[in-house]
Structure formats: structure tokens, C-alpha cells
Amino acid sequence: DILGNIFSIPSKILLLHWKVDRHNISSNTVSSLRRYLADNEMNSVKVRLNEYAPGGEWSRLFRNKSVGAGWRYTLGLFSALGYTIFPGRLFGGDNFNPFTDTISIYSDLPTIAMHEAGHAKDATMRTYRGTYAAIRLIPLVALYQEALATGDAIGYLRDKQITEKEKEAYKILYPAYATYIGGEASTFFDGPGYLFTLAAVIPAHIIGRCKAAGVNDVSEKSGGQCVQPVENKTGASCTTLQDSVTVPASSDEFPQQ
């Protein structure tokens, strides 16, 4: 994990957050992801928290009948091989693998975790999941799929009025999305790829922070009023909208297929 944090320095600098590819996932990130999955009734997806499990991934590849065998034994094999040879535990890179139906998290940021879960949610809505995963290889398609996952994460946080994480989402997910814009630009134009990335990420940071600044605090929306009764041994109490989503959790409670 020490090497992983060293290798992730460029990503930390690019997104201006030291928790990117931190390789140490806090209970806050875990509980936020658990709540998102529960609210969206996503029970089959596997979540790996800073884990390297090639055997498990190969097994899930062979058993994942939601993706056609033709795609699993072509692109799916390459994805599993890449996971095995270039472990995210070392190189980082939060992602969702549609061929194994697995979310791999290395960053200690709830918004990134929910973004990857958004990809999983998007996949479950597709009739032909393998084809939907494969068309990502077509130029510009990744921008569409990334926009859906980003929009879903931000929309979820806005709907639940989890304002601190919504602000974080704008600051992190906007520049993260911009890295894909830079990547796509480099396929169409000659020049150093990092220049295209910087040209997209810098304004995205500015826009993201402007959007975050426009988000009202929970206290302004709810007036600090009780929104949900909570029973305990001492009697009834109440919790704010913010508190209602921070439930204790551990990674052991994720599906273990």
C-alpha cells in the first residue's frame, strides 16, 4: 500500500485530493456505498475494497451469466488478465468491471465509490450488458457512460440532501470526468496527452468548485428539524437528513459471491 500511494501521486495531484487511491478505506466510505447499494436494490454486485483477488475475479467471470459468453470469453478474459497482471492494489484505479460484476475501490472518497456503483447500476438497466460494455471501445462512448455515472451519483446525493458529499462530488467528479475528455481529445489530435488532460481538468476544477459553492447546507434545507424518528433504549429521538445516511458498517457485509 505504501508503493500504491507513491504510484498514485499523479492522480492525487490531478484531482487535488490526497485520498484518491489512498488504499485505506474508511468506514465513512463503506457506509455511504452500502447505503447507495441498498437504496438502489443492488444485491448481486461484488465490492472489493483495496483487494487483490485474481482467483475470485476469474471465478466471477465464468459464473456471471448476466453477460453473454461471447463477450465474457473475449473482452472479459482480457479484463481479468489485466486485473491479474496489473493489480489495482498496487496501481490503483477505482473501477467497475461489467464482465465480473465487480466494483473495485481504492480511493477513500464516498463520491468516487458511488460513481463506480453508478456504473454498476447503469449496467443492470441494460438488456445486452456485454454489448453495452463493449461499445465503450468506440470513441466518445466513454464520455456518455461516465456522464451517466457522474450524474447518477450527484443526483442521488442531491435527492437525499447529503450536501457535504454533494459538494465533494462536484469538486472530485467534475475534474475526474474531465480526464476522459482529455483522453478522448488525444485520440483525435496530435500532441502530448497530458496537455489535453490538463487543459480539460483545470477548468473542470473551477467549474466544480463553483457548483459546490452553490449547494446549500442541510441546515438551510431542513431547518435543523427532526426528519426521521429513531428508537433507542432511552426513548425516541430524531436525526437530521445528514445523520440518517451515516449508519455503521463494515466491508464484511458486502455480498461475498
Domain containing 90: what range?
2-223
**Does the residue 39 lie in any domain?**
yes
Determine, yes or no, domain membership for 188.
yes
Mean local confidence (pLDDT), 132-159: 98
The mean per-residue pLDDT over the stretch 149-167 comes to 97
DSSP 154: H
The angle, 0 to 180 degrees and rounded to 10, between the axes of the packed helices 110-124 and 141-159 is 110
Q: What are phi and psi of 213, to 5 degrees?
A: -65, -25
Q: pLDDT-derived band of residue 217, with 50, 70 and 90 as boundaries? A: confident
Distances (CA, A) of 207 to 104, 170, 182, 195, 203: 28, 8, 16, 19, 6
Q: Is 59 exposed, middle or buried (0-12, 13-18, 19+ CB in 10 A)?
A: middle
The tens digit of pLDDT for each residue in 105-128 reads 999 999 999 999 999 999 999 999
25 inside domain: yes
Residue 21 maps to a domain: yes
Reply yes or no on whether the pLDDT at 62 is more than 50. yes
- Would 236 be classed as within a structural domain? no
Q: Looking at the whole model, is its pTM more than 0.95?
A: no
pLDDT greater than 50 at residue 234: no
User: What backbone torsions phi and psi does residue 157 show, to the nearest 5 degrees?
Assistant: -65, -40
Higher pLDDT, 121 or 256: 121
Rg (CA), the chain: 19
Residue 191 has pLDDT above 70, yes or no: yes
Domain count, the chain: 1
Grid coordinates representing 6? 507513491
In a domain, 15, yes or no: yes
The angle at the Cα of 42, spanning 39 to 45, to the nearest 5 degrees, equals: 145
Asked if the structure places residue 66 within a domain, the reply is: yes
Number of alpha helices (DSSP H) and beta strands (DSSP E) in the chain: 13, 5
Whether 20 is in a domain gets the answer: yes
Beta carbons of 227 and 244 less than 8 angstroms apart: yes
Q: What is the mean pLDDT of residues 209-221?
A: 77
